[in-house]
Structure 1
């Protein structure tokens, strides 16, 4: 695909089209958490069903990226991007006007993520193909700024529309963005097609099953255990916990085995002269492999922070959803401003150096967030810390994808972008599931320990403690924040204050330890970036 000459709009039509696409995808994802309560009330459903719909959404997205990337190479990046946009719009409209929770599940959790998975790898490929040098850096910076802007606007837009009209119209409004991007995409010429072999349907099936099982396992691990079964997992009436293992680890290990078969199948196909769904030889490209690893860790860190911080703010500091959004605003503004700022820097600034600078800012911001952690914390204290973290994240976002794909041949851009997107989606899933489950497990464990200490009970045996944590989790899952506060008020004043202190201090302790894990991960990312600098980039 070559950039069309002519007007300024034509020159930047490709960027505008893909930026509007990623804006719509991010906007949709950021609106759903705000819409959960309205959806549950509208359909008289259970909260767990909507949470399952969100997990299924991530599962479908992660499992589709490899196939979508390869289809972009064969069918053309513009064509697959537009097909994906149409499927995405169809899914959101079906969800917006769904008469039942099951139709919502079909539209939002199955159809829409297929379209989104087709759009994201194609979007990165379109930018790489259409823009070179400083223009490419500018393009990725603007692209990242659209992501940050959507993350800021989405919750506010959904909250406003849901309160004034209906949550349905907030989702339906995304169709306007899709119509606009179709207009800009019409100005862009198609990329060269690579039809050297038939589409690898076996590889697509193996990738879908393998990645799907891994994401499913990660989603279930917090509740059912990362290794040993914490509680029974029923398939029908049968308890599925072979040899005492958690269903989550069985699913993840099975997914890993399927992906190994996928890799072997790809190598065999390539040796026979075929074209596999994904060329595993791409991992011999150190820059691509290390960049993909950084992308996975980056999304894991950000996903973990954006789960743990709001839970702490709402559960320990009693902030509501709007107040939590205001606290997070410096983070999103930092991403927006510095993604644009870094894209305007001249070419003499090394991309690797800029990524390292972004990671360093993220590290400083994370340490700052940990340092100010307190139950007497004022909102204003978060502003510089989260802005610093967001500034670093904005620089990394604007540069990392371009760096990862910079040495990939044009004929392999689609599958490479698909692999990179898969790694990032897995990072999001693991950030919420791994770090989220670690945070909550430590919190509930601290509550049990502090409760025993308050009543001067003997130290519980490991099995009894584990059972107490499970029972506490189940009780807390059925309790709203209002019901918890009402329960405290129903107790004698001294006991109520003691119980409240036990819980909020447990949140604080677990929050501090989880932020320390994030700090260690960011430090590891910074170390990896220096490996890129010394071993790959001349």
Structure 2
């Protein structure tokens, strides 16, 4: 039993890293109310959290080599606890963003690569497969407990208590660090590549920022763009700038290696086919999961009018089956290869998304919705049970921290990209469907149609229909005309949700093409 003590600490830390986002997703409506803002602003805060982790995860992985993995793990937990404390007492939105998105995000960027490397260092063979299954399961527990705990606390107390509780858990974990013993704990004499860290962080940040703001700025034609270039929106230029910086990062890393200097990440690792395939699948999984977990709570809270706790209850099936599948995946790995299990998981997810599309209606039918969500969790759990072990088993002991940094960069970049991309598609589809509904309705006058078109052009938001009705009344739109506009907006909401979910299905289908390089043989368990 003693040798599993380390896993208790590491698994609890993994749980904390997942809990936050789950709590925030079901608390969107309450956060909008508490901070007197809108859904887009909360989307930006949620995206920034994952973005900060993605941007600094490679650097965080290298810190494990510089400081020693256990020490880096402890430092990351301390930073994370400070961010949780600031989040718990945040009086305004920018303090929430600083505490949660920035400080907690930086803490997680140090914790997660060290965690992945420590699991690989503490356990070997069959035990390692079980350990990664449990770590994946703890992610499922975080997703399970997050909506319920966050929903209940948000509805009946305050979401701030969740973050205050995290501070207590962090203190306990820090007191139990002695339970973690792994080889090569001493830090090595390695200089951190500051230029590489800056290029990678800024490049990743700009790419996701461009995707996030595309619904506000416009993709090509500018709407609320902060600047234009040759008459085009800032979106493509911000994304392009990010890609250029990432290209410079790759060139810089190659130059350091050519001069015998330690790079931030050894690019040769990306030539390992199973590692590369595992990273792509981790990114794909995160895009789908976080994209859906941003869209579905909006459907439940904004369209259906459920509170945070009711939303958490309806998300429970996906969480439970994800936990079961993640824990059972290590047993399935004894009889099937990672490639087969991941492909099965993607097919199950695709079937679940198709089923989920059929449940997006004006009035929710709870049983079909619950079954679709349960099937989605089953597919997600199969992926979670395999991919961490695939990545870490692809490299030797010396490269564990770097692989952990790449692993979590892929996950967190996928998370931020998923929230930004699916969110942007949702808003874009909402605007397009709303315009069509207005244009095709002969009972809406030309004057109201023109007035509504101007409002949509300035930026449409995903809000309750009551808010739309109140805005129309304030603008002096006659009651009979206003009702037709509200009905058109309600129909457009459902269309936008379906397009966003269908996009997640397309990404799932596309993911199958990248499974070819996953291990076709069972990973060693001896």
Q: Taking structure 1 as the reference length, what is the TM-score of the superposition? A: 0.87
1:512 matched to 2:498: yes
Equivalent residue number for residue 203 of structure 1: 196
1:283 matched to 2:275: no
Q: Residue 497 of structure 1: CA displacement?
A: 5.6
Equivalent residue number for residue 327 of structure 2: 340
Moved more, 345-354 or 96-105: 96-105
Change (3 A) 1:157 1:495: same
Compare relative contact order (CA 8 Å, sep 6+) and give the higher one, 1 or 2: 2
Q: Residue 45 of structure 1: CA displacement?
A: 6.8
1:43-102 superposed Cα distances (whole Å, 9 cap, x missing partner): 667776655443432332121101001111232211111110011011111232346555
1:152 matched to 2:151: no
Contact between 1:73 and 1:413, CA under 8 Å: does it hold in 2? no
Q: Residue 292 of structure 1: CA displacement?
A: 0.8
Matched residue count:
519
Equivalent residue number for residue 236 of structure 1: none
Q: What is the 5 A alignment of 1:124-273?
A: 124-162=116-154, 165-192=157-184, 193=186, 195=188, 197-233=190-226, 240-273=227-260
Change (3 A) 1:464 1:102: closer
**Aligned counterpart in structure 1 of residue 15 of structure 2, from 4, 14, 23:** 23
Paired with 1:317 and 1:366, the residues of 2 have a C-alpha distance of 19
Q: Residue 438 of structure 1: CA displacement?
A: 1.4
Change (3 A) 1:361 1:42: closer
Contact between 1:58 and 1:215, CA under 8 Å: does it hold in 2? no
Instruction: Flag structure 2 segments of 5+ consecutive residues without an equivalent.
Output: none
Change (3 A) 1:341 1:200: same
Contact between 1:76 and 1:190, CA under 8 Å: does it hold in 2? no
Moved more, 463-472 or 81-90: 463-472
Change (3 A) 1:38 1:383: closer
Equivalent residue number for residue 430 of structure 1: 417
Q: Residue 231 of structure 1: CA displacement?
A: 2.5
Paired with 2:93 and 2:500, the residues of 1 have a C-alpha distance of 35
Contact between 2:395 and 2:403, CA under 8 Å: does it hold in 1? yes
Corresponding residue SS for 1:344: helix
Corresponding residue SS for 1:307: helix
Change (3 A) 1:405 1:224: same
Contact between 1:65 and 1:422, CA under 8 Å: does it hold in 2? yes
Moved more, 269-278 or 448-457: 448-457
Q: Taking structure 2 as the reference length, what is the TM-score of the superposition? A: 0.89
Change (3 A) 1:454 1:39: closer
Corresponding residue SS for 2:179: coil
Moved more, 175-184 or 310-319: 310-319
Instruction: Flag structure 1 segments of 5+ consecutive residues without an equivalent.
Output: 1-7, 234-239
**Aligned counterpart in structure 2 of residue 298 of structure 1, from 282, 285, 301:** 285
Change (3 A) 1:19 1:433: same
Corresponding residue SS for 2:230: helix
Q: Residue 382 of structure 1: CA displacement?
A: 1.2
